[in-house]
Every structure is written in C-alpha cells, then in structure tokens.
Structure 1
C-alpha cells in the first residue's frame, strides 16, 4: 500500500482563460494533518473540489490511496469524508434526523454510525433541538459528523473555522487532533490564516494564484520562522568552535551556505561580536533574522498575508 494518501501531478483546472489551479503537485502522507494555505481565491477550494470528485480537471492527474484510474478514484473517494464550503444541512430537522438522511443517501448499513458520529462531535445530547437553532459552531460540528458517518480514512475540510468564535475554533481544532491521534485519520484542511493552521498541521502547502509555491514540514516552517542571529565569518568551523568554547552554547547551526544561525544570545549581540573578533575572526555579516508566521507567508507569496 502506498504511503501517500493523496498525490497530484501537474493538476490543472481552467475556467475560460483563467487557471484556477495551475500544474499543482501535492503530496500528502498517511497520518498527516496537511494545512493548505492561501489567500481567498488562491485556488484552495477548486483543488479540493477536484480531489473529492465535485469537479473535473482540465489537465494533470490525481492519485488517491495509490490509484489513479477513473474506477479506482471512484472507489477511493468512498473512503473519504469532506466538508466543502457550507455543510449540507436540513435546518428543520434534528442532528440525528440529518445524519439518518445522509446515511441513507450514502447507503451506509446500520444506524450505529449515527451514534458514533454524534458522540465524536459531542452532539449526542441535542435531542429534539432543530438545527436552525444550533450555534454556528454546532452546525460546523454537525457538518463534520456527516463527513465522518462512513468512518473515512481521509478527511477534507475547506475553511472549517470560518465564522467561528474563539471557543468554537479551539473545540474544532481539538476534535481534529483527536481524530488524527486516536483514529489515524489523515486530514487535509484549508485556510487563509497560517497562524490558525500552525496550531494544528504537521505539513503545509502554500498556494498562490493557482500555483503551489511551497510544501514544507512543521519543523522546516519552525526553522524558517525561528528568530536567530545570522553570522558570517571568514572561517565557519573556527566560528563554531568559538561559540561552543567561549560563548558556551551549542544552540546554533552551520548552514550549507557557510552562515551560522545562532538561536540564543539574541539580546547580547555585542558580546557575540566582540568574542568572535577577539578570537581573530573577521565578521562579514551579522544580523537578526526570523519571521513571524504571518510575515513569512506574506514574504512567500510576495504580498499581504490576507486577502
């Protein structure tokens, strides 16, 4: 079995002369919580609709659970759950009645899945309360329950925290983590807010103007955003020795380009520079670097972080 739940190759969707998705190559491994981030209109929802079979590509290919044939994709999509845009809910029905309708539509045998889904999203005790009287957070959780009815292996969520208050966001975040940790559910979740996904995702894909700009792991993102002193001396190996022996720190890295990234002593630049100079080293560059999550996203897409 493939270690990848989802892979796309040169995936493209064109509307008239506009490429909403432009030759995107995305890779999601089993067990990932993949944060798919981009401004509104960047192509996130279009790509998710292509993956879930709600739309058809203009070019490229999609592979889900290691298969990419039309029949194979149809079968693979039955092993997925998704909430794309607004959940399809019947406002004059209860939560249980909503799930019963969706169970019948999906042809899922037995009603035990309804209790399981309601328990997971903590809506089992809503009784005869109509969905029209639910809070927005409760409606979002019910939409998630619909996606979880068939006990999927892969869950796709499109901007699930839109309109939620801070408590609703935390509750949804905790639920997604629980599903990932306890059930091994692989999750693809889109958002235009990197700071929101940072508390949840293990891997990130950044899309802009329909193109995938960057894919990176959480550790790679942390490395790019971590504040540090960026140092270039005429002898990097000697510089590293001086930091270890004279500054007495091992919290640094010598990068492939010869720069040293020092992650502490950020407020003591004078001591660092004087110690290096007194050791006979020539300092060619010394600056404080590192981005906030929002400023990193802005830098990657070449503009403002919010649309």
Structure 2
C-alpha cells in the first residue's frame, strides 16, 4: 500500500508574470492531518485547486494515491472530498435537499448516504429548516457534509474556520479529529493561523510567496518552539555524558551540527556551565532559545504572521 496520499514535485502555477505556486514539493502521508500554513495570498488556495483538479499546473508532477498519469489522476481525484473557498450551498433548500443535489451531481447511488452524512456532522435534526436560517457554524458543517458524501478517503479543506466563533471552531476541530481517528480519513487543511492548526494537525507545511519553505511533524515543531538551552562544546559526546551523569537528565537532543538542546535546567545556566567546564570542556556557545508558535512562523516568513 502506498504510504503517500499526495506527492507533488516542482509544481508551478503562474498567472501572467506572477508565480502563485512556485516549484512546490509537498507530501501528505496516509492518516495525516496536514496543516497547510501561509499568509493570505501565499498560494494555499491555488495549490489546493491544483490538487483537486480545479486548476492545472504549468509544470511539475502531481501524484495522488500513487497515480500521476491523466486518466489515473482523474480517477484518484474522485476519491477526494473538498471545500475550496466557500462551500456551494443552496440557501432556500434544507440540509437534506442540499445533499440530494450534491449526491446527484456526484452520481452516488442510493439516498441512505444523505441521512448517514447528516448524522455524522450532527445536522440530522434540522428538518425543514432552510439553510439561510442556519448559523455560520451549521453552514460550515453542511459544507463539510457535501465534501463527505461518497465516503472520500482524502479530505481537503481551505480555511474552514473563517468567520466562525470560538465554539464553532472547537466543534469543527472535534469533528475533523473524529473523522481522522474513527474513519482513518487523511485531511489536508489550510489556514493562515498557526495556533489554530497547532491544536489539530500532525504534520505541517509552511508556504510563503508561492514557495514551500518547510515541512515538519508536530514533534519537530514542538522541539523548535520549546524553550531550551542551546549548548555547543568542543566534545559533544563528552558533553552528553556530563549532562546524564552530573545533571541527571536525558531531556535533551543532539542536532546534526553537534549542538545540544537541553530542555530542563533552564533557570540553572551557571550550574550547567560549571558542570561542563569542570568536566574539562570548552563551551563555545550557551544561550536560551525557543519561540512561540507565532514568532517561529513570523521568523520563517520574515514578517508579521497576520494572525
């Protein structure tokens, strides 16, 4: 079984002289909740439109469920449920009538899927109430229901919490987590708010001015943002031994460049320094590091995170 639901290689989409998506290499693994982060206008929606077949790249390779040829790719895209920008809802119809229209458009046999999907998004008791009288949160859940019709294996959501109040955001987050946990649904969800996706995603891709500037797991993001003492000594192996034996800690990580990130003893810099120097080491660097999620994002894109 293919480990990857989605892979792109050097995907580029240009409008006039502007590259909205510029040589993006993005990977979404089966079972991920992939948080796609970027400022407004960074290229998130354009990229999602390319993945769902609502647009076509100028160059590069798009692979979905292991398919990259035109015929296979078209079939693979039918296994995707998506809301790009605003969900297409008929305001003078009921929730059930809306889903019936979408069922017919998708060619899904049988009407049982409508009742099942309305129950899944907790709209089964809306009866004859027209969508124009729904709250924004209910409309978002109905939009999600249209994407879930046909039991897709891959769900793509573009800024789904825009305009929602805090309760609506919590409800939508819980529903996405439930779908991922109970149905094994892989989810790609975009937002310009890192702190919002931090409570949901397992993997992150950060896009800026059309370029994917970093992909990382939740653990990697936590480690980059977590407060720590960054230590560089002339003998890393000996430094690690001193931390374990003299300071009685294993709460640290060694980076490829040999620097050590120590996640405790943050208020005992002198004690750490003394233990290392007493062990005969030369301290080349010792500082306290760590960012908030917002400041980390801001540093990456070189400015305000627009939260």
The answer to whether TM tops 0.5 is yes
User: How many aligned residue pairs are there?
Assistant: 307
Distance in 1 (CA, whole Å) between partners of 2:255 and 2:67 is 39
Does residue 39 of the first structure (1) align with residue 39 of the second (2)?
A: yes
Distance in 2 (CA, whole Å) between partners of 1:50 and 1:282 is 53
State the match for 2:305 in structure 1: 305
State the match for 1:174 in structure 2: 174
Give how far 1:177 is off.
0.7
TM-superposition CA deviations, 1:9-58 (whole Å, max 9, x none): 21111111111111111111111111111000000000101111111111
The aligned runs of 1:75-224 (5 Å cut-off) are 75-224=75-224
State the match for 2:296 in structure 1: 296
Q: For 2:232, what is the secondary structure of its paired residue?
A: strand
Distance in 2 (CA, whole Å) between partners of 1:230 and 1:272 is 11
Give how far 1:141 is off.
0.3
Distance in 1 (CA, whole Å) between partners of 2:95 and 2:28 is 32
State the match for 1:238 in structure 2: 238
Give how far 1:7 is off.
1.1
Q: For 2:174, what is the secondary structure of its paired residue?
A: helix
Report the RMSD for the aligned CA atoms in angstroms.
1.2
Give how far 1:306 is off.
1.3
Distance in 2 (CA, whole Å) between partners of 1:128 and 1:156 is 29
Distance in 2 (CA, whole Å) between partners of 1:292 and 1:276 is 29
Distance in 2 (CA, whole Å) between partners of 1:87 and 1:251 is 46
Q: For 1:170, what is the secondary structure of its paired residue?
A: helix
Distance in 1 (CA, whole Å) between partners of 2:11 and 2:62 is 7
Q: When the two structures are superposed, what TM-score results if normalisation uses the length of structure 1?
A: 0.97
Distance in 1 (CA, whole Å) between partners of 2:233 and 2:9 is 43
CA, structure 1 residues 184+271, in 2 after alignment: closer, same or farther (shift >3 Å)? same
Distance in 2 (CA, whole Å) between partners of 1:258 and 1:25 is 28
Q: For 2:250, what is the secondary structure of its paired residue?
A: coil
Q: For 2:132, what is the secondary structure of its paired residue?
A: helix
CA, structure 1 residues 182+246, in 2 after alignment: closer, same or farther (shift >3 Å)? same
State the match for 1:10 in structure 2: 10
Gap regions ≥5 residues in structure 1: none
Distance in 1 (CA, whole Å) between partners of 2:258 and 2:9 is 35
Q: When the two structures are superposed, what TM-score results if normalisation uses the length of structure 2?
A: 0.97
Distance in 2 (CA, whole Å) between partners of 1:106 and 1:284 is 63
State the match for 2:276 in structure 1: 276
Gap regions ≥5 residues in structure 2: none
Distance in 1 (CA, whole Å) between partners of 2:107 and 2:255 is 55
